[in-house]
Amino acid sequence: MSALFTRNRLIGLALAVVIAAVDQLTKWIVIGPLALRRVGHIDLLPFLDLTYMENRGISYGMLQATSTDTRWLLVAMTVIIAIVVLVWLLREAKLGDILGLGMILGGAIGNIFDRATLGYVVDFVDFQVLDYRPFAIFNVADAAITIGVVIILARSLLVSDKDDATGPAQAADAVSEK
């Protein structure tokens, strides 16, 4: 196996593919069989509803794509970000970091696919506590990106580089990943 495609990196890439596929599957289910685009809203649980929303911007609707040019500009920007994350993932050796990057990459791919094919990102998960909504309406890709970023930040703040060589098993893993 090539040094570029180590076991950990293949796991990260597989995770990205699975997240992108699950994201697209859930969007297909809510738009197709559940007809959420037509009904607009489905009550599921006291704290969770399905609410159809077309997000033509990025996070929290910022940078709205109000024309074809701005739509493709957002696609290009997110593709560039996804490429940067992919390169980062392929340069990383630690599985914890690779998993976070795989989640970010998979979420980015899911949302890029929406924006490129539909012109907007389909959001539908509406989480609330009583009448308080701690999050904007989101989708599986958004959740994966957020969790991936939290993993990367937590690992950068809490895991030190010296943890790599604390024992023979970790040292052997580090050598096999190079």
Question: Where exactly are the structural domains of the chain?
Answer: 7-160
pTM (2 decimals)? 0.84
pLDDT-based confidence at residue 167 (cuts at 50, 70, 90): very low
Q: Which of 123, 126, 163, 164 is catalytic?
A: 123
Report the alpha-carbon distance of residue 82 to residue 105 in Å, rounded: 6
Report the alpha-carbon distance of residue 19 to residue 178 in Å, rounded: 27
Token pair in block for residue 32: 């197709």
Is 176's pLDDT higher than 70?
A: no
Tens digit of pLDDT for each residue in 12-62?
999 999 999 999 999 999 999 999 999 999 999 989 999 999 998 776 566
pLDDT at 161: 63
CA dihedral for 137, 118, 43, 103, sign (positive or negative): negative
Pairing of β 48-55 and β 121-127: antiparallel
Q: Answer yes or no: 97 catalytic.
A: no
Q: Answer yes or no: 123 catalytic.
A: yes
Within 10 Å of residue 48's Cβ, how many Cβ atoms?
11
Q: Which of 142, 161, 163, 173 is catalytic?
A: 142
Tens digit of pLDDT for each residue in 89-124?
999 999 999 999 999 999 999 999 999 999 999 999
Task: State the virtual CA torsion across 19, 21, 25, 27 in degrees, nearest 10.
Answer: 60
DSSP class of 29? H
